[in-house]
Amino acid sequence: MSERSADQILVERVQRGDKRAFELLVAKYQRKIFRLLSRLIRDPAEIEDVAQEAFIKAYRALPNFRGESAFYTWLYRIAINTAKNYLAAQGRRAATATESDLGENESLDDTDQLCDVATPDAVLLSKQVAEAVNRAIEKLPEDLRTAIVLRELEGLSYEEIADAMNCPIGTVRSRIFRAREAIANELRPLLDTGKDRRW
């Protein structure tokens, strides 16, 4: 059974009044939603509040969920919109990844595959690259930042991002391309690459 099918079964149980089924969905996606929100909001207490509000909104909206998109992309859209509304009400911009976030990136779990080239120069360059990427992401407009975070840090497909951001897939491709170009421009001086090369 696919993840989407399993989620749909839980959604249908919630729609029939089974509150335990919703608890299962929350348990399944809580960590992903927290991680997503941590890319947009800095304060952990605020992240928890916004996540709770997003899950409440999702619970209230579930009777109208028809399964046209995967549950988690629908939930991501609710979480993103809840974060945007929260930040707008606070008069703030979304945060970006911190250095500690980069250390928690799940795609780097296989540390045995990393080469043993941790020379002081390599460590310094790596830190400078991470800082430059964070600066570049922080400067991005919110729509570009959200798209690149969903793609590169959350690993969503273009289709899932389009669904989560409620926009056409061509718009997602454009936003990700523009975000990558902005990041490349920030890295060029550091990596000494020409304008004809991205990295």
Q: Does pLDDT of 180 surpass 90?
A: no
Distance CA 100, CA 131 (A): 11
SS3 of 52-82: the string is HHHHHHHHHHHHHCCCCCCHHHHHHHHHHHH
pLDDT digits over 128-177, tens only? 777 777 788 888 898 998 998 888 878 888 998 999 899 999 999 999 99
Q: Given a cut of 50, is residue 105 above it in pLDDT?
A: no
Q: Can you say whether residue 65 is alpha, beta or left, with left for phi > 0 and alpha for psi between -120 and 50 degrees?
A: beta
Q: Give exposure, 157-194, as e/b (b: 16+ Cβ within 10 Å).
A: eeebbbbbbeeeeeebeebbebbbebbbebbbeeeeee
Q: Which residue has the higher pLDDT, 11 or 115?
A: 11
Q: Which of 40-44, 82-86, 165-169, 174-178 has the lowest mean pLDDT?
A: 40-44
pLDDT, average across residues 91-107 = 45
The third-level CATH classification (topology) of the domain covering 3-90 is Rna Polymerase Sigma Factor; Chain: A (1.10.1740)
Neighbours of 145 (CB within 10 A): 24
Q: So where are the chain's domains? A: 3-90, 119-191
Nearest CA to 77 among 195, 148, 167, 144? 167
With contact defined as beta carbons under 8 Å apart, do 87 and 178 qualify? no
Higher pLDDT, 99 or 126: 126
Which CATH code for domain 119-191?
Answer: 1.10.10.10
Please determine, for residue 54, whether its predicted confidence score (pLDDT) is greater than 50: yes
Two tokens, residue 25: 């969905």
**Helix, strand or coil for residue 26?**
helix
Structure confidence at residue 112 (pLDDT): 37
Helix (H, G, I), strand (E, B) or coil at 111: helix
**Is the separation of the CB atoms in 162 and 147 below 8 Å?**
no
Instruction: Check residue 52 and give its pLDDT.
Output: 93
